[in-house]
Chain A
Amino acid sequence: MSLKNLLRAVLGNYLFKRALRAFGIIVAASTITFFIIRLMPSNPIEIFINQMMSAYGMSYEDAKAMALALFTIDLDKPLHEQYFEYVTNIIRGNLGTSISISPGTPVMNVVTAFLPWTLFSVSISLFSSFLLGITLGMIAAYRRGGIFDRVVSTVAAVTSAIPGYLLGILIVVFIGVRFGLINYMRGAYSAGLTPGFNLPFIVDVFLHLAAPFTTYVLSTWGGWMLSMKANTVAVLGEDYVTVARAKGLPEGRIRTQYVGRNAMLPLFTSLAISLGFIFGGSTLIENVFVYRGVGRLLWSSINARDYTVMQAVFLIITISVVVSNFLADLIYSLIDPRVRVGG
């Protein structure tokens, strides 16, 4: 009994240590981003002034007056004071207000307007890609050397070598333009519709998802497929698989419990790590399709040098990556008995 308690204490301690380290990484990463963001050339006010001047032909003075009236930020404060303010605000749960993308709106509101779309599109794409990859990878491994294997492996290697945004552009050009579907390749839903839980809107959302989904899946399934194939080939050569056949187990049981489980183990770690990117979205793909996601928000906030929004997005990405790495370890220790901490 006391051994069990001791074990629990050690395990608790281990988790505590891990959590502490994760917290440290988040603090360090967000501090670094805070300063790097401000080291970037130009600043939100200058960019705004330039935009006003070039878009509306305003004079520099007029544009500057307008900027000062609109923006509440004081960029002349010393950096360390700004940082101190940022930290105290965060501790209070306050991410500040957007500087230039949507002046005065709380950053939290800006982010929550974009985040669900990224969560929705990337999680569907990620799981589809993963399932497609491991299924085809396993089939290819079982038929290694055959036509199926050769075709699928080649296609996988080629598609994963092409950058995602390029695939996106190809889709826009060859499918969107050619078949007149370009309207479904802009944004997350059609301009005229009001979001709500009704059939026309939901159908519209999925039609808009099709292109970014295809792009994302095309550019990532190959990686899953090729590693699943390699793992499966390796596992198929293991003695316990021959033993399973000798034992007279049904083929289905061998495929799932003996081959599949062992071949998938290493992939779960990568999957858990990829989960982190569900929150970050893919900037390039979201940009090609003008999709309302976090990746696109990041892009526009960088262009406008909207410091507070950038900070918030980087913070979200950092937290989700750190947390998902943590989860990856945890999941791995749950599914692989060899790395389990306790009995």
Chain B
Amino acid sequence: MIELETKGTLTVNEPVISIDNLTVEYVSPRGVIKAVRGVSLKVYRGETLFIVGESGSGKSTLGLAMLNIVPRPGRIAGGSITYHIDGRNVNILDLPLEDQRAFRWKNVAMVFQSALNSLNPVLRIWDQMYDTIESHDKHISREEVYEKVRRLLYLVRLDPDRVLKAYPHQLSGGMRQRVMIALALLLDPKVLILDEPTTALDLLTQKSIMEVLKNIKKELGLTMIFITHDLSLAAELADRVAVMYAGKLVELGDVYDIFYRPRHPYTFALMKTVPKLTSIDEELYPIPGSPPDMANLPPGCKFHPRCPYATRACSDVEPSEEWLTPSHLVACHRHRDLSLRVEAR
């Protein structure tokens, strides 16, 4: 069921991150995979931005790049990621290693896609909380840490006494996911990135994690970047949505634009994959074809082999990004002459 809850447009447009022409590649035996191909994107203070797209479109890679921790064999091949924090402009890619270390988690934290494997199996949860704070603040006392950790565990609805003594394998998947969320909030980051925070969990756990996240958004007012397949989550929480396809942004806009007035055929197709509650037996429209082979991308628009509206131009030239309104961006040759209509839901 899609029902837009958040009130789209933000009044203050002050960026907290400016990503400029970012390129990330993986060197694999099959060749160089360009997982992120020249993405430029601003993230605004206090907003909730969703990055959506099919599997393999480079969403997680983009998230990892924002902390400059793309693991081997990946590497950031170009571009910049500038944080505008405390009146300073810091390109994390240019920082000396020790400054990067101090910068991470304090300014930007991330809940990983594989939250189930995100905890060190041989350390108790308490130790993994404590070493995080201690690495950033040598003088903090154990009592202060405990107080803080306890508060956060309550926020994600976990029982501190039970969880802190435990080793990761003694916790359920949902509990580990909550621990990771609490861990990410430990240093009061300005930006929180959540990569598929609900995907690996059963429906009931998904719902309660979502409640927790909504609550965090309301109470802490931090900048959140969600990376997900789950469009219903986007409908509930997003201020803005960025749609990725084959390592590039194909559309970016506020949640109303993306859900009701998509201008890219891929976004349009994506919206049609969302089930509606209005009639139960209504057809779902999976996107025809399969995601492109990232090691061997087609020429021109990367979506053209699957696009019902593709023309000659689409297979020859990759469309450039164009601002339709100050807040709505699309990269499609045919956005002017197509009228894509999503029925009101």
Q: Residues on A close to B: CB < 8 A?
A: 236-240, 242-251, 253, 257-258, 261-262, 265, 335-338
Q: Which listed residue (B102, B121, B131) contacts A253, Cβ 8 A?
A: B131
Instruction: Report yes or no: B104 in contact with A246, Cβ–Cβ below 8 A.
Output: yes
A-B contacts besides A250-B101, A336-B122, A337-B121, 14 pairs, CB < 8 Å: A239-B117, A240-B117, A240-B118, A240-B119, A247-B104, A247-B131, A247-B132, A247-B135, A247-B183, A248-B136, A262-B121, A265-B122, A335-B122, A337-B167
Instruction: Report yes or no: A249 in contact with B135, Cβ–Cβ below 8 A.
Output: yes
CB distance from B17 to the nearest CB of A (A): 16
B 152-199 contacts with A by CB, 8 A: 167, 169, 183
Most B C-beta atoms less than 10 A away, residue of A240, A247, A249, A335 = A247
Check: B89 CB closer than 8 A to any chain A CB. no
- Give 10 nearest A-B pairs by CB, closest first: A248-B104, A337-B167, A239-B117, A248-B105, A240-B120, A239-B114, A243-B118, A248-B101, A247-B132, A249-B135
Most B C-beta atoms less than 10 A away, residue of A236, A237, A248, A336 = A248
Interface membership of chain B positions 96-122, coded 1 if the CB is closer than 8 angstroms to chain A and 0 otherwise: 000001111110011010100111111
A239-B120 Cα distance, complex, nearest whole Å: 9
Contact of A238 with B122 at beta-carbon distance under 8 Å, contacts A246-B105, A248-B102 already known: no
**A245: which B residues are within 8 A, CB to CB?**
69, 104
Residue of B nearest to A338 (CB): B169
Instruction: Report yes or no: B71 in contact with A247, Cβ–Cβ below 8 A.
Output: no
**A244: which B residues are within 8 A, CB to CB?**
120
A238-B122 Cα distance, complex, nearest whole Å: 13
Most B C-beta atoms less than 10 A away, residue of A240, A246, A338 = A246
Contact size range, B: 20 to 34
A332-B18 Cα distance, complex, nearest whole Å: 48
Instruction: Report yes or no: A258 in contact with B136, Cβ–Cβ below 8 A.
Output: no
Residue of A nearest to B180 (CB): A243
A258-B103 Cα distance, complex, nearest whole Å: 20
**B103: which A residues are within 8 A, CB to CB?**
248
Instruction: Report yes or no: A262 in contact with B105, Cβ–Cβ below 8 A.
Output: no
Residue of A nearest to B70 (CB): A242
A69-B207 Cα distance, complex, nearest whole Å: 91
Residue of B nearest to A262 (CB): B122
Question: Mind listing 6 A-B residue pairs with CB under 8 Å?
Answer: A236-B72, A239-B118, A240-B118, A242-B71, A246-B110, A248-B136
CB distance from B151 to the nearest CB of A (A): 19
Residue of A nearest to B136 (CB): A248
Residue of A nearest to B110 (CB): A246
Check: B271 CB closer than 8 A to any chain A CB. no
Contact of A257 with B131 at beta-carbon distance under 8 Å, contacts A248-B106, A337-B169 already known: yes
Check: B244 CB closer than 8 A to any chain A CB. no
A253-B134 Cα distance, complex, nearest whole Å: 11
Q: Which listed residue (B114, B122, B131, B183) contacts A249, Cβ 8 A?
A: B131
A69-B317 Cα distance, complex, nearest whole Å: 105
**B117: which A residues are within 8 A, CB to CB?**
238-240
**A248: which B residues are within 8 A, CB to CB?**
101-106, 132, 135-136
Check: B67 CB closer than 8 A to any chain A CB. yes
A238-B117 Cα distance, complex, nearest whole Å: 7
CB distance from A331 to the nearest CB of B (A): 14
CB distance from A39 to the nearest CB of B (A): 49
Q: Which listed residue (B101, B104, B112, B131) contacts A239, Cβ 8 A?
A: B112
Check: B123 CB closer than 8 A to any chain A CB. yes
**A253: which B residues are within 8 A, CB to CB?**
131, 135
**B119: which A residues are within 8 A, CB to CB?**
240, 243
Contact of A249 with B132 at beta-carbon distance under 8 Å, contacts A237-B71, A240-B118, A243-B118 already known: yes
**B102: which A residues are within 8 A, CB to CB?**
248
Q: Which listed residue (B104, B110, B112, B120) contacts A262, Cβ 8 A?
A: B120
B 55-97 contacts with A by CB, 8 A: 64, 67, 69, 71-72
Residue of A nearest to B97 (CB): A251
Contact of A246 with B121 at beta-carbon distance under 8 Å, contacts A239-B112, A239-B114, A337-B167 already known: no
Instruction: Report yes or no: A338 in contact with B118, Cβ–Cβ below 8 A.
Output: no
Instruction: Report yes or no: B132 in contact with A338, Cβ–Cβ below 8 A.
Output: no
Instruction: Report yes or no: B67 in contact with A246, Cβ–Cβ below 8 A.
Output: yes
B 29-78 contacts with A by CB, 8 A: 64, 67, 69, 71-72
**A238: which B residues are within 8 A, CB to CB?**
117
CB distance from B309 to the nearest CB of A (A): 40
Contact of A258 with B101 at beta-carbon distance under 8 Å, contacts A248-B135, A250-B135, A337-B167 already known: no
**A335: which B residues are within 8 A, CB to CB?**
122
Instruction: Report yes or no: B122 in contact with A261, Cβ–Cβ below 8 A.
Output: yes
CB distance from B189 to the nearest CB of A (A): 11
A248-B122 Cα distance, complex, nearest whole Å: 19
Residue of A nearest to B116 (CB): A239
**A336: which B residues are within 8 A, CB to CB?**
121-122
A335-B64 Cα distance, complex, nearest whole Å: 32
**A250: which B residues are within 8 A, CB to CB?**
101, 135
A238-B72 Cα distance, complex, nearest whole Å: 11
Instruction: Report yes or no: A257 in contact with B106, Cβ–Cβ below 8 A.
Output: no
Instruction: Report yes or no: A247 in contact with B122, Cβ–Cβ below 8 A.
Output: no
Q: Which listed residue (B101, B112, B169) contacts A242, Cβ 8 A?
A: B112
**A337: which B residues are within 8 A, CB to CB?**
121-122, 124, 167, 169
CB distance from B136 to the nearest CB of A (A): 6
A314-B344 Cα distance, complex, nearest whole Å: 84
